[in-house]
Structures are given as structure tokens and as C-alpha cells.
Chains A and B, each alone.
Chain A
Amino acid sequence: MSADFFGMTTLAASGVTEADPTGAAALHRTKVLEMTQAAEDAVLAPSGAGAWSADIRAALATRIATLNGETALAERYAARIGDDSAAALADPANDGSAQNMSAAVAFMDKVAARTRDVKAEDIETLKAAGIDDADIVRLAELNAFLAYQIRLVAGLKLMRGAA
């Protein structure tokens, strides 16, 4: 087990500690939770970032956590944004046009909140905006991982009785 198991983003944002019963359940799935942290590292700060810098990724993560009402998680991601121009993307009210990212931002919001309505045309819109296939997959993976982590945090908070 990693030295700072309960300090990993998902458990810390859920407020799960070693002392509560939910902590015991978390320790039962040590490997899964450690791999969850490894996945977070891979989507938030990969070495091959493509078109999406770590600052942009942290801003989009903050945005999606905010859309889901997960304040503690949003604050953790907001703290990782180093670049002021990327920081504006964290606000769900900003459509990304000032950052020249309106197509990517609209896609991220739709995939996060209205997944069932995503159609082939939404991918064509990204391609028309000059986003290549690898960068489309990178956006989808970032969004998809966050969907997982946000629901894991929401569920852990309910287990603790702290939602």
C-alpha cells in the first residue's frame, strides 16, 4: 500500500479516513484505489499531452467536477491550474471562445452531462475544428475518467453518511 493511501485524490476528496468504516472497505480494495490514482495521473498530467496541456486538463477537470456539484474535488483540481488563461476554462459559464477552445469545451460539457445525446456529428464537429483523432481520444479519456472518479467520490460520501 502507498504511504499516503488516504491522501490520494479520490479518498481525500470523499473525506474517507482510516478511522471510519468506509476506510476499512477502501482498504479491502487497495489495488483498485491505487490504480485509480495512477489513472488520474495519466489523464491529468501525461508525458504525451498532445494539444491539451496539464493546465488545460486541470481546468477542464475543475469544470466537470463543478458541473457535478463535487466542490472538494473541484477545489483540488483548481489548485493544480498554473496558467491564468487556462483557469478561465474552469468556469462552466465560459464557453471557451476567448481561449479558442469552444468546440472542445462544448464537447466536454455534453459528454459529461448529456452523454446519451452524443452523436457522430459531435465528433465531426471536433474534426472540423482541426482537432486530430488522438486529441479527440485524449479529451474523451479525460472526461470518462472524471465521470468515474466523480461518481466514486459521490458514492463514498454516501457510504460515510456525509453527502
Chain B
Amino acid sequence: MSKVVHKFTRNVPHWQPRVTPVVLAEASQEQLDALQVTPSNTKVSEYVLVLAHDPETLKVRSPLFNAIMYDPGGMSRAERELGAIGASIVNRCVYCAAVHADRHAKLERDTDVTDKIFMSGADADLSPRNKAILNFAIKLSQCPSEASDADMTMLREAGLDDNEILDLILSAALFGWANRLMHVLGDPVRKEAAA
């Protein structure tokens, strides 16, 4: 049995698809290319196998995702995770929030920031810089965006330069994308041990 997880947590749940994933043994060459399956790398998550139903998008999405979250320069990796967390809170994507809060905690060797965000959301008592970043990510993630000139000023006053601000916009926007796949196409579940 498995139970759907509704509360934010850093303990990453299992992701259970709502549609049937592509069966690797039956995948087309185009799907295998998009999945980047090689003889030495045959372990593919169910999530990626679901996305393999649209191989043209998957093929460009993975390198774009990695570039936004990991390319050097600009805003720090931990702060990009805050952008991801802000979006995931707005969209209530428990799975994405867990993965990226866990990464943030590991990068910063600190659980305090993400504990406070899960407890208080946009009102979390954070450093001025973290608060400006989280505030912007949360407002940009609304539909339509609620981010304003005042929120942009808050980022600049907290010391972010243009390259860092662009990285924040990219990471928060990227999770507008990721949340609409993870939260829409599957459920975060906790597997319960068989009695």
C-alpha cells in the first residue's frame, strides 16, 4: 500500500505516475535518444519514462534544466534552489519541494532555512537576501505573476546583480514548468511496509 503525501517535507517521497510510463524494452530509437539510455546507464526513473511519451520535448528539457540549475557563474546553486522551492510552494508540488529543500539543506549544511519556509511560506523569518529571493520567486509563480517593481528593488537592495537576478527568474520559472509535470502527472507517495 502507499499513501499520498500532502505536507511539505525534506524526506523525498516516491513519485507514482497517473499515466502509464513508456516501457523501456519497447521504447523507440527517438525515445531512447531522449532518455539518454546507454549500455552503462540503463536505470531510468518512472518520471522520465512518463516524459518519454513526448521525446522531442524531453530531449531539450533535460540539458536546459541542468544548465539553469548548475551552470557556473551568476547566482549560487543554493539560491537557485530557493527559486525552485518558492515556485513549488505556490503550486503545492510536494515532490519538487522535497527534492529541492533537501538539496538546499545539503548545499548549505543547514536545515533552518527550509524548516522556516515550510512552516511560514512567504512570511518565513530569513536573512534579507534569502527573504528577497523567496518573495520574488513566490510572486513570480502566481498566475498571472504578482512580482512588481518593488520586489525587483528589494532584490537589488539585498545585493543581487543583474546576472544573479536573471538566474533567479530562470530557476523560479523553470519550476513553473517542473511543477506542472510532477504535480499534474503523478502523486508523491510514501510506501507503507506490508503488514
1/0 contact trace for A58-76 toward B, CB 8 Å? 0000000001111000000
Report whether B71 and A31 are in contact in the complex, using a CB–CB cutoff of 8 Å: yes
0 or 1 for each of A81-112: is its CB under 8 Å from B? (1 = yes):
00000000000000000000000000000011
Verify A29–B166 contact, CB threshold 8 A.
yes
A39 contacts B60, CB within 8 Å? yes
Q: Does B24 contact A (CB under 8 A)?
A: no
Contacts A32-B71, A140-B184 given; does A145 touch B177 at CB 8 Å? yes
Once the chains are docked, how many angstroms separate the CA of A136 from the CA of B177?
Answer: 15
Interface residue tally of chain B, by bracket?
Answer: 35 or more
Which residues of A17-74 have CB atoms within 8 Å of chain B's CB atoms?
Answer: 21-22, 24-26, 28-29, 31-32, 35-36, 38-39, 42-43, 46-48, 67-70
Chain A nearest CB, measured from B22 CB (Å): 9
Cα–Cα, bound, A67→B142 (Å): 12
Cβ contact of B185, chosen from A25, A115, A137, A158, cutoff 8 A: A137
Closest to B141 in A: A151
Query: Are B143 and A144 in contact, CB atoms less than 8 angstroms apart?
Result: no
Question: Which of the four size classes fits the interface of chain A?
Answer: 35 or more
Q: Which residues of B contact A161 (CB under 8 A)?
A: 149, 152
Flag whether B170 is at the interface (Cβ < 8 A): yes
Q: Which of B51-75 contact A (CB under 8 A)?
A: 51, 53-57, 59-61, 63-64, 67-68, 71, 73-74
Interface of A: prevailing SS: helix
| Other-chain residue from B67, B144, B147, B173 in contact with A31 (beta carbon distance below 8 A) | B67
The answer to whether A159 has its CB under 8 Å from any CB of chain B is: yes
- CB contact under 8 A between A46 and B57, given known A32-B67, A144-B178: yes
Q: Which residues of A contact B56 (CB under 8 A)?
A: 42, 46-48
In the assembled complex, which residues on chain A have CB atoms less than 8 Å from the CB atom of B167?
29
Contact partners of A122 in chain B: CB under 8 A = 184
Q: Which residues of A contact B (CB under 8 A)?
A: 21-22, 24-26, 28-29, 31-32, 35-36, 38-39, 42-43, 46-48, 67-70, 111-116, 118, 120, 122-123, 133-134, 136-138, 140-141, 143-145, 147-152, 154-156, 158-159, 161, 163
Beyond known contacts A113-B143, A147-B177: 11 more, CB 8 A cutoff: A111-B184, A115-B92, A116-B91, A123-B18, A138-B53, A144-B178, A145-B177, A148-B177, A154-B147, A155-B165, A158-B147
Q: Which 5 A-B pairs have the closest CB atoms?
A: A155-B169, A116-B92, A147-B176, A144-B180, A151-B173
